Amino acid sequence: MNIDVLTEKEAAQLYKVSIRTLSNLRKDNKIPYKTVWFYIGRQVRYKAQPLQNYFESYTTSF
């Protein structure tokens, strides 16, 4: 099983949001712990596919 993992910086750049926005989403439990993000030591990592699914489900098109 191969799981792609993103750093905070990579995730922020990929989805064009700030690192602070990702932090707020975690803090407000909008993205679930261990399902979408987790710690390696003290560093936050994101699972690429679940994070993509989250942003796709909350994206508004104009």
pLDDT at residue number 2: 58
pTM of the model: 0.84
pLDDT at residue number 62: 54
Of all residues in the chain, what percent carry a pLDDT higher than 70?
89
Distances (CA, A) of 27 to 10, 23, 32, 61: 19, 6, 10, 26
Q: Give residue 59's Cα distance to chain centre.
A: 14
Contact, 16 vs 9, CB < 8 A? no
d(CA 8, CA 54): 15
Contact, 43 vs 51, CB < 8 A? no
Residues of the chain with pLDDT under 50: 1
As separate numbers, helices (DSSP H) first and strands (DSSP E) second, the chain gives: 3, 3
pLDDT at residue number 61: 59
